[in-house]
Amino acid sequence: MVMQLTAKQSIHLPRTAELIRVEKLSDREKVFEFKFDDGKELGQKPGQFVEVSIFGVGEAPISVTSSPTHKGSFELAVRATGGVTNKLHTLEKGAKAGIRGPFGNGFPIDTLKGKDILFVAGGIGLFPLRSLINYVMDKRSDFGEVNTLFGCRSPQERLFIGQLAEWDKSKDMCFLETVDRVPDDEWKGNVGVITTLFPKISFDPKKTYAIVVGPPIMYRFVIAECLKKGLADDHIIMSLERRMKCGVGKCGHCQINGLYCCQEGPVFTYAQVKSLKEAV
Ligand SMILES: Cc1cc2nc3c(=O)[nH]c(=O)nc-3n(C[C@H](O)[C@H](O)[C@H](O)COP(=O)(O)OP(=O)(O)OC[C@H]3O[C@@H](n4cnc5c(N)ncnc54)[C@H](O)[C@@H]3O)c2cc1C
Ligand code: FES
């Protein structure tokens, strides 16, 4: 007998997808492009994530790094850190994986339409943010001025190098990047933490939303800079990663003071989380 799945049941069942491209980004990171076996779109919003299953190993939450304006397939950029991600890094074109989702709230596109945007990405924070940056670039006339800041630890840890070069040349955004330290003198760009880029940009805090994604330590300093520049608490938007299991509000692993990060987040405004001790 063929079992009919209800919408509620299907959020727990992965759909199979084929790996159609693998690209090395750095020593620890690769981008994986998948296509569903049923030919359907993922249908994500920028900032949403999926649960990726590697059969026989387990599942891990991974942000979708491609924009929904890119049709027919989707990209996941992954750092090899543990069981699932290390196994994923061994897969080659033609391999199959299971995908549940998309999950989470994603970035508030409707709020951002017509506004100026300041993107601030630290390290692999670029993975979720890239989906929104690419979306904004593909629908450029829907948005105002765009400033993008990217920082990582060393030149060897820069990600999506070809795309960084395109953003650098683009007349549609002001793009600045920095590295924390330089082990060799090949690098001719900025050196210093990401907040050292703030004095080099200007924006109108009334019309601007900052979208900040990076390691936990970065939030404290970047939020302080944003506030110093006059941005209101609800104009500072961030994506928070927490340990997640189910991705659908059932297991409680992702809770921050009673907030379910997998469902109410991972995207929050600073106004929403500033009083939550564990959030930032
Ligand atoms: C919403 C969301 C989006 C994400 N997006 C991305 C993305 O786009 N790209 C990406 O590379 N990663 C992303 N991550 C992080 C990724 O899900 C984790 O790195 C995940 O743990 C990888 O699974 P794994 O099985 O490979 O690693 P695990 O086996 O879970 O191990 C990962 C690391 O965590 C440590 N660890 C494991 N369990 C615990 C524990 N209980 N307490 C403390 N430390 C522990 C391990 O020692 C190891 O260092 C995202 C996470 C979330 C929540
Ligand atoms: S990950 Fe299970 S409740 Fe959020």
pLDDT tens for each residue of 62-80? 999 999 999 999 999 999 9
Say if residue 4's pLDDT is above 70: no
CA of 18 to the centre of ligand 1 (A): 22
Would you list the DSSP string of 155-200?
GGG--SHHHHHHHHH-SSSEEEEEES--SSTT--SEES-GGGGGGG
Q: Which ligand is nearest to the CA of 263?
A: 2
Residues in CB range of 134: below 8 A, 6 or more apart: 46, 66, 67, 69, 70
pLDDT tens for each residue of 145-190? 999 999 999 999 999 999 999 999 999 999 999 999 887 778 889 9
Q: What is the pLDDT of residue 271?
A: 95
Q: Closest ligand 2 atom to the C-alpha of 254?
A: 4
CA of 152 to the centre of ligand 2 (A): 29
Pocket test for ligand 1, best of 26, 62, 64, 79 (most atoms within 8 A of CB): 62
Strand partners, 98: 16, 53
The shares of helix, strand and coil residues in the chain, as percent rounded to the nearest 5, are 25, 30, 45
**Domains in the chain and their CATH numbers?**
7-102 (2.40.30.10), 109-239 (3.40.50.80)
236-239/267-269 β-pairing: antiparallel
If pLDDT is split at 50, 70 and 90, which confidence band does 2 have?
Answer: very low
pLDDT tens for each residue of 176-233? 999 998 877 788 899 999 999 999 999 999 999 999 999 999 999 999 999 999 999 9
Say if residue 47's pLDDT is above 60: yes
Q: Which ligand is nearest to the CA of 49?
A: 1
The answer, as to whether pTM is greater than 0.85, is yes
Residues in CB range of 40: below 8 A, 6 or more apart: none
Tokens of 26: 């750095």
